[in-house]
Amino acid sequence: METVAVRNATKDTVLGERVSVAETSWSRLVGLLGKPGLEPGTGLLIMPSQAIHTVAMRFAIDVVFVDRNWRVIHLRPAMIPFRMTSLHWKARCVLELPAGVIAQTSTVIGDQLSIAE
């Protein structure tokens, strides 16, 4: 699976240096299932996606919804296992990160993200 670096260009902070990209049906379906956790600097970018769930996951994650211009449109910090998000119609993709990254990077709605390979 391809990995990318995701940066908050507005705050000049790094959300993840080794974020896996899930852009096939299978990789989006599997997501983080079966993983024991996320290491610092890692995450999963699900493209396309407008909602996610943490059913059968074993750990909390930070969730960032991003529009087609890579702007943050919704945040769900420390989403615990066995939960579902609302559907966000304007979202292009969803970024799943270790719990605490949203706060550590001061990411807020409206921030501009950038992606680099």
CATH number, position 12: 2.60.120.1140
93-98 and 61-66 beta bridge pairing: antiparallel
Euclidean distance between CA atoms 93 and 80, whole angstroms: 20
Q: State how many domains the chain has.
A: 1
Predicted confidence at residue 36, as pLDDT, reads 87
- What pLDDT, in 10s, does the model give residues 57-83? 999 999 999 999 999 999 999 999 999
Predicted confidence at residue 34, as pLDDT, reads 78
Q: Is 13 helix (H, G, I), strand (E, B) or coil?
A: strand
Cβ–Cβ < 8 Å for 82, 100: no
Q: Which residues in the chain come in under a pLDDT of 70?
A: none
- Its domain, for residue 7, covers 3-116
**H runs (alpha helix) in 48-107:** 101-104
Predicted confidence at residue 113, as pLDDT, reads 98
Give the tokens for residue 102. 């949203």
Euclidean distance between CA atoms 43 and 8, whole angstroms: 14
